[in-house]
Structure 1
Amino acid sequence: MDEQWRSVLARNAVNPPKRQVDFIACEVVLSLCASLLVDFHKYGGTSSHKAEFPVQHLARLFERRPSSFLAKMTNLDNSRPNGGRYDVEVAARLLSDTELLQDVYLRILRAARRQGIDREQLPDFLDLEDGRALWLVGQEELSESEIEKSLEGVLEKRAREQGDVPLELTQRLLTATVRIGQHRFAQGVLANHQHRCVFCGLSGIIAGERRPRMLTASHIKPWRDSTGKERLDNRNGFTACPTHDVAFDTGLITVDSDLNVKYSPGIERDMTIEAPLRAALGKPPLADKLILPDVAVRPDVVYLDWHRTQIFVAS
């Protein structure tokens, strides 16, 4: 690992149209790790300079163009025909075992620090160096059976395109890719709502530490019922504490087009005699209207209407 970093530090900047050096192992793994944060499918060759953190940091450190890292992420995602079996094998192995991915990521960072590469040059973009564990958020909304169902057509198409990649390997990678997409969606929803429940305002940051299980970021229109585009749309998501997430998902409460929180019939009556229910779903702690930061993107009314007509217990 140290030898890899010494070779990186010895590189000269490569200007087009010169051929760039091959990716070394630590670059491949860091590209994969960056894909946990970056929706690289949003960028093309002319927009790669706009790719968010940590793409630009990695490009500067490794003396590459940002587009090179985005292309490598696409190879690892197996969504690029003839992207390379080695990339697919690496991605499938690491993304299906987050403990292994964390271990390899930390070993790469420790080796970089030994070579004098500090956090400004190579940020700890997964926030693991201080002892936190790698946690894929939003996974409670997914089930293996629903993932498998969603991949039926895609798996056949990929198998035809990537004839040299074993079907089992392709399936593992596609399953992992779905989970990573859900993770990126949930991270975006949490950031949009500044890590607070939109129903009661509970913060997921307690005693100075982020507590990932205190909040859930899930879809307004459920993942199983959404299209691929809708599954990644932050306007189709709410940040909620577990109690209010379940109340919304099961139709006990809903949100109208003006963002007012509404009860299912019978809830208010039951709260007059059930103190625990009143403590959970009364107002307070529920707000009359969604609690959204001033800078937050509002939920799309299309998703709110879907929930109100398909999930909300109206009678």
Structure 2
Amino acid sequence: MTLSEYLEITTASAERQWREITARAPRTDGKRGAPFVPVETLLCAAAMHVVEYSRLGSSTMHRAGSPAPELAALFRRPVSSIIAKMNNLDGSRPRGAKFDLSVGLVLTGDAQLMTVLYRRLLLAARRVGIGYDALPDFLGLEGGGELSLLGQDELDDGALGDVLTRELPLWLERSPDQSESVTERYLLQYLRVGQHRFATGVLQNCGNECVFCGFGLGDSAKPTLLRAGHIKPWRDSDGHERLDITNGLAACPTHDAAFDSGLMTVRSDPPHLAVTLSARMRHAVETNAAVATTFGPAGLRTDLQTSAMAVVPAVEYLDWHAAHVFA
């Protein structure tokens, strides 16, 4: 096996591998079984963009979201095997197969190649009779478009530098045989893909509309014109907080910028989540008609519409924002 057999896989080769996979007998003993073939590894790399695998432990892997259960059933493997492969691919647990780290690093850093390979794998699957129910189009790219990472505007050089300084030593401890430069590249890709999963989850949780004014295009297609940002800023959050969708809000660019800059905040006053403007912003609303259009009663909700959310923002993040960001 060579790296090119992963990154240059042909449709014909993928079809052969799919036939081998579908001919497997389902495992009932919970063990991982035979080594992963390239088709399986590549689809796990694609699924890293949507499955929140990094927060799952041995007792919670069964809760992994789609497409982890579908891939497990299709590959005749336990879900834990799918999650373990993702952790091997992103470098956080470098104990995988020979090419896991290389495949993960290339594909999380090359969205165009990931898109091409993903479509090729799905085309091969459809040709051998694997339908949408068994293998859903979990990246939404089968009919066109290109993979793009969401939420990357929060990851400016300063924020990335702060997090790298804090977390790179821990990654180096886990991978003592790997150079610092390579480990840093893995960590950067891990952070970027994690931010994409966070942003995707926040947009879905908020119904793909601005929580402050209701702006939305009525679908989940890209671009949305919405931003999915952290309540407690990304650079100030730990690994758990950065991926927690209760630490996120979807907003139109104007309201997102006002929230991020501290010109408004959200205060928890059960059962309400009250939108609160700073003194400076209140003055602008009173004296500037253009500001009033966007931040006055006609353009800004007084409370977040929590009934439209699957989960509501956590109070601890709102309190942090009010104490440390709100001006």
TM-score, length of structure 1 as denominator length? 0.91
* Residue equivalent to 1:68: 81
State the secondary structure of the residue aligned to 2:88.
Answer: helix
Change in CA separation of 1:68 and 1:18 when aligned onto 2, cut-off 3 Å: closer
Q: How big is each residue's C-alpha offset from its partner over 1:185-225, in whole Å with a ceiling of 9 and x where there is no partner?
A: 222211221111110011243xx562434111101111111
Structure 1: tracts of 5 or more residues without a match:
none
Change in CA separation of 1:160 and 1:231 when aligned onto 2, cut-off 3 Å: closer
CA contact (8 A) 2:151 2:227 kept: yes
TM-superposed deviation, 1:169: 2.5
TM-superposed deviation, 1:43: 3.1
Change in CA separation of 1:177 and 1:199 when aligned onto 2, cut-off 3 Å: same
CA contact (8 A) 2:216 2:224 kept: no
CA contact (8 A) 1:198 1:240 kept: yes
State the secondary structure of the residue aligned to 2:70.
Answer: helix
The question of 1:172 aligning with 2:165 is answered: no
* Residue equivalent to 2:16: 3
Correspondence list, 1:201-280, <5 A: 201-205=214-218, 210-258=221-269, 259-280=273-294
Q: How big is each residue's C-alpha offset from its partner over 1:230-288, in whole Å with a ceiling of 9 and x where there is no partner?
A: 21222211110111000111122111222111221143333344222122222111011
User: RMSD value over aligned CA atoms?
Assistant: 2.1
The question of 1:152 aligning with 2:194 is answered: no
State the secondary structure of the residue aligned to 1:104.
Answer: helix
Change in CA separation of 1:187 and 1:282 when aligned onto 2, cut-off 3 Å: same
CA contact (8 A) 2:32 2:77 kept: no
TM-superposed deviation, 1:153: 4.7
The question of 1:283 aligning with 2:297 is answered: yes
CA contact (8 A) 1:197 1:240 kept: yes
Change in CA separation of 1:89 and 1:167 when aligned onto 2, cut-off 3 Å: farther
CA contact (8 A) 1:194 1:293 kept: no
The question of 1:299 aligning with 2:310 is answered: no
Structure 2 CA distance, aligned partners of 1:38 and 1:143? 24
Structure 2 CA distance, aligned partners of 1:164 and 1:270? 57
The range that moved more, 263-272 or 246-255, is 263-272
Structure 2 CA distance, aligned partners of 1:44 and 1:158? 18
TM-superposed deviation, 1:95: 0.3
Count of residues paired in the alignment: 311
Structure 1 CA distance, aligned partners of 2:229 and 2:32? 43
State the secondary structure of the residue aligned to 1:293.
Answer: helix
Q: Residue type of the partner of 1:300? A: A
Structure 1 CA distance, aligned partners of 2:237 and 2:258? 20
Q: Residue type of the partner of 1:51? A: A
State the secondary structure of the residue aligned to 1:238.
Answer: strand
Correspondence list, 1:124-143, <5 A: 124-143=137-156
Change in CA separation of 1:19 and 1:267 when aligned onto 2, cut-off 3 Å: closer
TM-score, length of structure 2 as denominator length? 0.88
Structure 2 CA distance, aligned partners of 1:140 and 1:121? 35
Structure 2 CA distance, aligned partners of 1:215 and 1:18? 43
CA contact (8 A) 1:31 1:72 kept: yes
The question of 1:191 aligning with 2:204 is answered: yes
TM-superposed deviation, 1:158: 3.0
Change in CA separation of 1:30 and 1:227 when aligned onto 2, cut-off 3 Å: same
* Residue equivalent to 2:130: 117
Structure 1 counterpart of 2:323, from 305, 309, 313: 309
Structure 2 counterpart of 1:93, from 97, 100, 106: 106
Q: Residue type of the partner of 1:181? A: G
